Amino acid sequence: MIKLKISTAVVALVAAGALATTAALTETRPTLNMYGATGLIDMPSAEMQPDGILSGTSSHFGPISRTTLTFQITPRISGSFRFQGIRDWNKVLCCDGVNQFETYYDRSFDLRYKILDEGRYLPAIAIGLQDFVGTGVIAGEYVVATKHVTPDVKVSAGLGWGRLGSFQSIGSPLGDRPELVIGKGGNFNFGQWFRGPAAPFAGVEWQINDQWTAKAEYSSDAYDEESRVRGTFDRRSPLNFGVEYQRNESLRVGAYYMSGSEFGIAAHFIMNPKKRAGGGIATSAPDPVDPRPSRGANPEAWSTTWLGQPEVQNTLRVRLTRRLEKDGVQVESVRFDGSTAYVRIRNLTVDAEAQAVGRTARALTKVAPASVEQFVIVPMVNGMPVSQVVLQRSDIEALEFDTQAGEKILARAQILSAPAVLNDGIRDPEAYPKFTWSLVPMGRLRVFDQNSPFKAGAGLELNGRYEVTPGLILSGSVSKFLFSNLDDRPPLPERGRLQPVRSANYFYDRDGDPAIETLALTYYRKLAPELYGRMSLGYLERMHGGLSTEVLWMPTARRWAIGAEVNYTAQRSPDQRLGFSLPVDMYETDLCTPDFATAACGARNSYRVVTGHVSGYYKFDNNFHAQVDIGRYLAGDVGATLSLKREFDNGWKVGAFVTKTNVSAEDFGSGSFDKGITVEVPFASLLGIPSTKTRTTVLRPFGRDGGQRLDVDGRLYETVRGYRADGLTEQWGRFWK
Task: Find, among 136, 140, 143, the residue nearest to 164 by Cα.
Answer: 140
- Least Cβ distance, residue 512 to another protein (angstroms): 18
Query: Applying CB under 8 A, which of residues 282, 527, 599, 638 lies at the interface with another protein?
Result: 282
458-466: list long-range contacts, CB under 8 Å, 24+ apart.
458/482, 458/483, 458/484, 459/483, 459/484, 459/513, 461/517, 462/437, 462/438, 463/437, 463/438, 463/439, 464/435, 464/436, 464/437, 465/435, 465/436, 465/437, 466/433, 466/434, 466/435
Per CB under 8 A, which region of 167-175, 210-218, 393-401, 671-679 contacts another protein?
A: 393-401
37, 110 contact by CB (below 8 A): yes
375 lies in the site for another protein, by CB under 8 A: no
**Contacts to another protein from residues 470-529, by CB under 8 A:** 482-483, 485
Return the residue of 29, 76, 87, 274 that touches another protein, per CB under 8 A. Answer: 274
* Site residues (CB under 8 A) for another protein, limited to 353-372: 354
Here's the x/- map for another protein, 307-326, by CB under 8 A: it reads as -------------------x
For residue 179, give every residue at least 6 positions away whose Cβ sits within 8 Å of its Cβ, in sequence order, or none: none
Among 311, 401, 421, 598, contact with another protein (rule: CB under 8 A):
401
Residue 730 sits in the site that holds another protein (CB under 8 A): yes
Determine, following the binding rule CB under 8 A, whether residue 622 of this chain makes contact with another protein. Answer: no
Residue 90 burial (C-beta neighbours within 10 Å; 0-12, 13-18, 19+): middle
The site for another protein, by CB under 8 A, has a size of: 76
Nearer to another protein, 5 or 247 (CB): 247
* Minimal distance, residue 272 CB to another protein, in Å: 8
Footprint (CB under 8 A) of another protein, residues 241-270: 247-248, 250-251
When the beta carbons of 203 and 690 are compared against another protein, the nearer one is 690
Dist. CA 600–CA 584, nearest whole Å: 10
Residue 265: CB atoms within 10 Å: 14
Residue 279 or 429 with smaller CB distance to another protein = 279
Torsion of CA 136, 138, 144, 149, to 10 degrees: -160
CB 427, CB 413: distance < 8 Å: no
Between residues 335 and 434, which has the closer beta carbon with respect to another protein? 434
Quick one: which segment of 337-345, 457-465, 538-546, 664-672 binds another protein (CB under 8 A)?
457-465
Q: State yes or no: cis peptide before 75, omega within 30 of 0.
A: no
Angle ∠(408,409,410) on CA atoms, nearest 5: 90
The distance of closest approach from Cβ of residue 686 to another protein in the complex, given in angstroms and rounded to an integer, is 6
Enumerate residues 682-721 that contact another protein by CB under 8 A. 683, 685-693
What residues have CB less than 8 Å from 8, skipping those under 6 apart? none
Q: Give the HSE-up count for residue 623: Cα atoms under 13 Å, Cβ half-sphere.
A: 18
Q: For 350-375, what is the HEC assignment?
A: CCCHHHHHHHHHHHHHHHCCCCCCEE
Measured CA to CA, the distance from residue 702 to residue 449 in angstroms comes to: 8
By CB under 8 A, name the one of 398, 551, 562, 592 that touches another protein: 398
Among 76, 87, 465, 660, indicate the residue that binds another protein (CB under 8 A). 465
Q: Judged by CB under 8 A, which of 56, 459, 529, 579 binds another protein?
A: 459
CB of 687 to another protein, least distance (A): 5
Distance separating alpha carbons of residues 327 and 421, to the nearest angstrom:
26
Q: Single out the residue of 180, 456, 535, 699 in contact with another protein (rule: CB under 8 A).
A: 456
Residues 337-356 that bind another protein (CB under 8 A): 348-349, 352, 354
**Reduced to 3 states, what is the DSSP secondary structure of residue 325?**
helix
Stretch that binds another protein, among 382-390, 452-460, 504-512, 582-590 (CB under 8 A): 452-460
CB of 34 to another protein, least distance (A): 21
Question: Rule CB under 8 A: which of 193-252 touch another protein?
Answer: 247-248, 250-251
Give the span between the Cα atoms of 112 and 131, in whole angstroms: 11
At its nearest, how many Å lie between another protein and the CB of residue 540?
21
Q: Does 400 bind another protein (CB under 8 A)?
A: yes
User: Which amino acid type is present at position 692?
Assistant: T
Q: Does 280 contact another protein by CB under 8 A?
A: yes
Q: Which of 216, 281, 370, 677 binds another protein (CB under 8 A)?
A: 281
Helices 353-367 and 310-325, interaxial angle, to 10°?
Answer: 130
Residue 188 per-residue DSSP state: B
x/- mask, another protein, residues 650-689, rule CB under 8 A, reads: x--------------------------------x-xxxxx
In 555-689, the DSSP E strands lie at 560-571, 608-619, 624-632, 638-647, 653-661, 674-682
Residue 601 to residues 79, 409, 492: CA-CA distances in angstroms? 38, 64, 12
Given a contact cutoff of 8 angstroms between Cβ atoms, the answer to whether 112 and 44 are in contact is yes
Which position among 278, 293, 491, 616 is part of the footprint of another protein (CB under 8 A)? 278
Measured CA to CA, the distance from residue 630 to residue 580 in angstroms comes to 27
The residue (of 231 and 443) whose beta carbon lies closer to another protein is 443
Residue 433 makes contact with another protein by CB under 8 A: no
Our finding on whether 734 is near another protein (CB under 8 A) is: yes
Q: Which range of residues in 96-104, 112-120, 296-304, 647-655 is near another protein by CB under 8 A?
A: 647-655
* Smallest distance, another protein to C-beta of residue 27, A: 14
Residues 527-586 within binding reach of another protein (CB under 8 A): none
Residue 141 or 428: the one with the smaller Cβ distance to another protein is: 428
User: What part of residues 283-312 is at the interface with another protein (CB under 8 A)?
Assistant: 283-286, 288-291
